[in-house]
Structure 1
Amino acid sequence: MADPTVQFLGITRWSYPGTPDGYRKSSEDLDVLRAKLYAPERMEHRLFLLEHLVLPCLREQTDPTFKHLFVMGDQLPAPWRSRLEKLLGTVPQASAVFAPEGQNMREMFMELIPEHQEKRHDILAQYRIDDDDAVAVDFIEESRRIFSNLHPFYETEGIAGLDYTRGFIMETSPEGVEFRPVSARHWAPGLVVFQANKEAQSLFEFPHLRIWHSMPTLTFRETPMYIRGAHHDNDSHLDSFARRTKTFRFNPRNKRRFLQRRFAFDSREMQNIWLENYEKFAGDGAAGLRTGT
């Protein structure tokens, strides 16, 4: 029997104004949420992260056979929308999806994912990164390789998860950009879910911290595979995850070169751009960032 074929489908929710249950910190009023997400300083910050963190790693994937959806609201204002579309145009695998705003996140992706499945494949592999995350340049290639060994394990239930536990937290502050090694189980940017294509559900049907309730999972800890952002307008509270995380020994001869090789960005250039623009990114909160209040 021929080896099963696998489609890789990535998802990024890019400042999409959905129902309040889609965000940890949000207003029940859609107009208030929309104003917060589309605030000029926030848009500038998210476009900075998109250009210098998210897209470089996707553009340089060693296995280019994947599709990555960027899901935005259909009322994203024109100045940001045009800049976003121009940036996404630099990555052939990136697809812009402008969805009607105010939808329930789970329900929206239940309808959206089937529209982008390629029926000719046997298996659908889904992963997700937030708009302040990155994955290693061999994320697709390694996941495909590991699945070739994981396949008998997957066949028992027709579903399986791959959990990359090592990565970095990228912390930005008025002092600059720091990368802290972290080991954590079931963090969203380190997960891949493999399902039989005909029965595949949306990845958002499986809350990432409880994914082991729904499927067998394989933990892979050998190589750092993701970066997760920590900054002034995070939706998730990374500090609250401290009890679930550990660090690992990371002492390369040249940290900048390592990050360039693994994630395809120049950390020095990123720091310079951040320091030059953080007041624009932080807006009224810039003074608080300086004083720590």
Structure 2
Amino acid sequence: MRARLYAPHRLDHRLFLLENVLLPGLKRQSDPDFTHLFLMGDQLPDPWRSRVLDLLAKIPQIIPIFAPEGRRLNDVCREAIHDHTAADCEVTAQYRLDDDDRLAASFIGESRRLFGTFEPLYETQGHFGLDFNRGFILQTTAQDLTMRPVSMRFWAPGMVVFQRRGAKRTALDYNHLKLWRYMPTMTWREEPMLIRGAHHDNDSHLSSFGRRARGFVFDPPNPRRYFKKNFGVNLNRMQRVWDAQKAYFLQDAPPEVRQLKAG
């Protein structure tokens, strides 16, 4: 398992995603008052370990955590969240991201603002789920890099779970697609809030989600300017980096993926 997960070309691809997708979205948050726990396996080798830590050090809200490999993910995340919750915090707003997810620059601020709207519902049970259900799929193939609008209910990177400090469960303990079974929830579709990667090392293509996923009309006058302003995404730069390294990143992908046509 380690030989596959820690293969140099795979780690370089994950570093490409980390540097170009996840981290710029956190760095550009309009509301800087948040803590982001960045969880990694304790066997992550150098030089990638050092490269990751160098990237994380540029964002003061991030706390890197190396956890022993082989434990249940939910247990590790629960301990990390409980250990790093501020003592004077009454309510935690928990979200979950992979290294190929990206948040809109307003994600933290809008989550905080909306909590004031539905706080009476939160008080009824002591927890509440917020579902930002519009965003984009960033799809990379052997031919191209594209953005596709998607409306997807209770998708993990668009979900925020509000809970009282010290609650036994965390956001990772809930099946995100069934969050509505456990607590009051609200779906917010007013503006796209997330980007999720779809590539040879992931399964986030729209076709994987059947009737749960739909597109939406997205026609700004200048799409590239929109992504730059709202997500801090420089599509031209990302395209150049992908084109230069995709053959290396895709070297152990199945032949049909290495030759896949975009769309």
Q: TM-score range by the shorter chain?
A: over 0.9
Q: Which of residues 247, 251, 260 is equivalent to 1:283?
A: 251
Q: Partner amino acid for 2:223?
A: K
Percent identical: 49
Supply the distance in 1 between the matched residues of 2:87 and 2:203 (Cα, whole angstroms).
35
Q: Is the 8 A contact 2:206 2:213 kept in 1?
A: no
Q: Is the 8 A contact 1:169 1:180 kept in 2?
A: yes
Q: Partner amino acid for 1:178?
A: T
Alignment of 1:48-197 (within 5 A): 48-197=16-165
Alignment of 1:137-286 (within 5 A): 137-199=105-167, 201-234=169-202, 238-285=206-253
Q: Partner amino acid for 1:172?
A: T
- SS of residue matched to 1:252: coil
Q: CA RMSD in A?
A: 1.5
Superimposed CA distance per residue, residues 187-217 of structure 1 (whole angstroms, 9 cap, x where no aligned partner): 0010000001132522111110111111110
Classify 1:111/1:290 alpha carbon distance in 2 versus 1 (closer, same or farther; 3 Å). Answer: closer
Q: Is the 8 A contact 1:124 1:200 kept in 2?
A: no
> Which deviates more from structure 2 when the two are superposed, residues 104-113 or residues 41-50?
104-113
Superimposed CA distance per residue, residues 239-275 of structure 1 (whole angstroms, 9 cap, x where no aligned partner): 3203211111001111111001111120111011101
Paired positions, count = 261
Q: Is the 8 A contact 1:37 1:43 kept in 2?
A: yes
Supply the distance in 2 between the matched residues of 1:154 and 1:288 (Cα, whole angstroms).
48
Q: Is the 8 A contact 2:142 2:260 kept in 1?
A: no
Q: Partner amino acid for 2:184?
A: P
Supply the distance in 1 between the matched residues of 2:253 and 2:77 (Cα, whole angstroms).
33
Q: Partner amino acid for 1:40?
A: P
Aligned to 2:4: 36
Question: Following TM superposition, by how much is the alpha carbon of 1:238 offset from its aligned partner in structure 2, in angstroms?
Answer: 5.0
Q: Is the 8 A contact 1:181 1:248 kept in 2?
A: yes
> Which deviates more from structure 2 when the two are superposed, residues 106-115 or residues 69-78?
106-115
Q: TM-score, normalised by structure 2?
A: 0.95
Classify 1:166/1:236 alpha carbon distance in 2 versus 1 (closer, same or farther; 3 Å). Answer: closer
Supply the distance in 2 between the matched residues of 1:255 and 1:198 (Cα, whole angstroms).
42
Supply the distance in 2 between the matched residues of 1:202 and 1:112 (Cα, whole angstroms).
10
- SS of residue matched to 1:78: coil
Question: Following TM superposition, by how much is the alpha carbon of 1:137 offset from its aligned partner in structure 2, in angstroms?
Answer: 0.5
Q: TM-score, normalised by structure 1?
A: 0.86
Q: Partner amino acid for 2:181?
A: H
Question: Following TM superposition, by how much is the alpha carbon of 1:292 offset from its aligned partner in structure 2, in angstroms?
Answer: 2.9
Supply the distance in 1 between the matched residues of 2:55 and 2:241 (Cα, whole angstroms).
17
Supply the distance in 2 between the matched residues of 1:119 and 1:59 (Cα, whole angstroms).
25
Aligned to 1:26: none
